[in-house]
A = this chain, B = another copy of it.
Amino acid sequence: MKATPVKGTADYLPSQTLLRDYMQNVILETYRSAGFERILTPTIEHLENLEKSDGGDNLNLMFKIMKRGEKLTEAIAAGGNENSLADLGLRYDLTLPLSRFYAANRAKLNNPFKCIQIDKSYRAERPQKGRMREFIQCDIDILGSDSPLCELELIHTTATALNKLEIGSFTIKINDRRLLKSCLAACGVQDNQMDTVCISLDKWDKIGADGVKAELEGKEIAADVIEKLLTLLNGERSLESVASFCGESQELTNIRQLIENVRHLAKGTYGAEFDLLLVRGQGYYTGTVFEIQSNQFRGSIGGGGRYDGLIGKFTGENIPAVGFSIGFERIFAILQEQGYAIPSRQRRIAVLCNEDEAVGAMELAETLRQNGDGIGLYTRPKKMGKFLNRLEEQGFDGYLVFGEASEPKLFEKQR
């Protein structure tokens, strides 16, 4: 048998699990405290729903679950292919299941519905630090309201959770896809070229202006359009320059107000700025998009946006919706790297006893647990010194030998 976990997944040791549980609790309690309500949806989803979800590149990274029994036999006999052999899949994010959930349960929910999801998703990506094939996402969403205050609330609540986790300084980048598209239209990009041009622009930070230019030429965008685009994008790309380039608009007013409000609530504990080139991969975003950039670590540690069309795919009726997702694995990797120490955790004490004293020792342990300590029972070892060293290494705070003492003896901390 294979002792290593499946590629892109991980086993977590007790100390790592303590940190992961602590992180989840901080995030969950911050979100609950802000009046959001947690729901749970299944990890396995109808393949049909996933396939129709506008998930962009994620659809190519899906884990698909094989049909079973007779259905599988029939599919194989009919010359099965990738699509006919499977009928379920592991979800690639929490947004599609939320949309399905909302469509099924709308009558039982508050309106607007302010929702928490903290759970696993799966993508068969190339694994790298902080990017797993099995990963936890922490999402808040507001469904049923098109007010720009939703964006404000999501951004500030998410930032509050990150501050409580002490991940260091970070900036929220904010854009509106419609704003970017207005600019592109003003440069002469045709409607049917919008998506492909956006995909190239999204790579600006990675491949630079020349790389983007080459890609756009490869996509047969007219030379004068490319030139106008590059003039705009090589400029300062501020809200003011966008305004002077393609005029004032409701989107521009909203985003200006949003950034001002975010900064007011942030009181300097995090940053917020406009980023015209922020696109985000998912096809389902329709308006505002945002992303969290750590100022010490490369890459995004969270993101989200408005997806007013997705729920309508289930209900037939347009329901405004906006969500923000924290990249849990990325933040876990950052905190681990920092050697982050969890504030004020439970003390851990070992009670050592002989086999024939065990029942009495268990009764003593129950008494000691009353004050909130974690009390583990161990048979008295032959080599006491070695055993105690091991306990200390494993994070125990002290020990008590049954029959010899009534109070735990604490290890001297080496740090």
Report which A residues bind B (CB closer than 8 A). 1-6, 9-14, 16-18, 20-21, 28, 32-46, 48-49, 52, 63-66, 68, 72, 76, 80-82, 85-86, 88, 90, 100-101, 103-105, 108-112, 114, 120, 122, 124, 134, 145, 147, 149, 152-153, 156, 261, 264-265, 313-315, 346, 348-350, 355, 358-359, 362-363, 365, 369, 372-379, 390-391, 394
B contact residues around A28 at 8 Å (CB): 21
B contact residues around A114 at 8 Å (CB): 376
Q: How far is the CA of A72 from the CA of B124 in the complex (A)?
A: 14
**Contacts A4-B104, A6-B45, A149-B355 supplied; 16 other A-B pairs, CB < 8 Å:** A1-B314, A3-B103, A6-B42, A11-B101, A12-B40, A14-B39, A14-B109, A32-B374, A33-B346, A33-B374, A34-B369, A34-B376, A44-B63, A110-B394, A114-B376, A153-B377
Nearest-Cβ distance from residue A342 to partner chain B, whole angstroms: 13
Closest to A315 in B: B3
Interface pair B80/A76, CB less than 8 Å apart: yes
B contact residues around A90 at 8 Å (CB): 44, 65
The one of B1, B85, B147, B314 that contacts A3, using a Cβ cutoff of 8 Å: B314
B contact residues around A4 at 8 Å (CB): 104
Cβ contacts A to B, 28 pairs, < 8 Å: A1-B46, A3-B104, A3-B315, A5-B104, A6-B42, A6-B44, A12-B39, A33-B373, A34-B365, A34-B374, A34-B377, A35-B377, A42-B134, A43-B120, A44-B134, A63-B68, A65-B65, A65-B66, A66-B66, A66-B85, A80-B85, A112-B378, A114-B376, A145-B379, A147-B355, A149-B379, A153-B377, A261-B359
Interface pair A358/B63, CB less than 8 Å apart: no
